[in-house]
Amino acid sequence: MEIESEDKPPGSPLIRDFDMGNYLGRSNFFIKYEGANPTGTQKDRISRKHVENAIEHGYTEISVATCGNYGASIAYYARAMGIRAIVGIPSDYSNSRHAEIAAYGADIIEKPLKYEEIVEYIRDEANKNNWYDASPGSPNKSIDVSGYSEISYEIYNQLGFAPDYVSVPVGNGTTFYGIYYGFQKLYRERRTDKIPKFIAASTVAGNPVIYSYINRFRNIVELDQEKIVETYVNEPLIAYRSYDGQKALEALYKTHGKALYVSDNDMIKLSDGFRKIDNLSVLPASASAAVAALKFAGNNTCVVVLTGSDK
């Protein structure tokens, strides 16, 4: 496994994965390993910016709704920069990084609500209590796109060109759209002559972006939440409403991309493969992007965006 380039935090390494690539029969397989960030996910890119923005605008509390990773990230940066974090978590989430969030000193609010419902609950509480709202779809959401677009610039600088494909796991669609937005800017700035084709991966029958694209809908369709089956493996990807789903869907169409549902078993298999072959810790839900890349990218140059396992 060869590391091509590495930026200082919040940047992450781009890995040309000869070991896993040989195992999988791929010669142009690259990993953008967001697991190298302080709390192990791409969320660190936007959490740092949100906390800085909160402080700049005079807030002493920052709030967020989470299924785990984002809450841990906000709590980490809030403690580092000296403000209070309030983290809302659905009470039945098993993969919530609850202990880590508490260890960072955040105040945790648990409610018997679905993720989308606790986003709305925290938004209401933020308005009532004058907390800065960092949740998806908040008035501060432009920070999310700019933060995730950094990934595109790093990929371009580390490779020296835009890859043929970029494969990204999809929940709310925000990371996916942010990376697309970054490559779109690079193209408009004439730094690259192409925008990669984008591959979206998520859990079976549990994501509006994948569902809408596979069914060739031009407008995002919310799912029936009663028909979604949530597991320990797929819960980081589960959504009946994707907050930036429409933008992610449009990015798929504009790049003539691909979308794939991935089973829990396939996510676990690839995650185990990265651990055994590369000694690389990869969240199984994130490994869905690698499964989709194998199906669609062939031997074209493909960068797979992966996050680390829960700590």
Mean pLDDT within 201-222: 96
pLDDT for 8: 42
Q: pLDDT tier at 144 (50, 70, 90 boundaries)?
A: very high
Which helix (DSSP H) or strand (DSSP E) does residue 158 occupy? Answer: helix 142-159
Q: What is the mean pLDDT of the chain?
A: 92
Predicted TM-score (pTM) of the model is 0.93
pLDDT in tens, 25-84: 788 999 999 999 999 999 999 999 999 999 999 999 999 999 889 999 999 999 999 999
How far apart CA 302 and CA 27 sit, in angstroms, is: 10
pLDDT in tens, 264-277: 999 999 999 999 99
Residue with the larger pLDDT of the pair 137 and 177: 177
Closest CA to 292 of 279, 305, 283, 309: 305
Mean pLDDT within 143-172: 97
**How big is the chain, counted in residues?**
311
What pairs with residue 32 in β-bridges?
14, 305
pLDDT for 86: 98
Look at residue 101 and tell me whether its pLDDT is greater than 70. Answer: yes
Complete domains list, the chain, with CATH: 2-41+142-306 (3.40.50.1100), 43-133 (3.40.50.1100)
Q: SS3 of 203, please?
A: strand
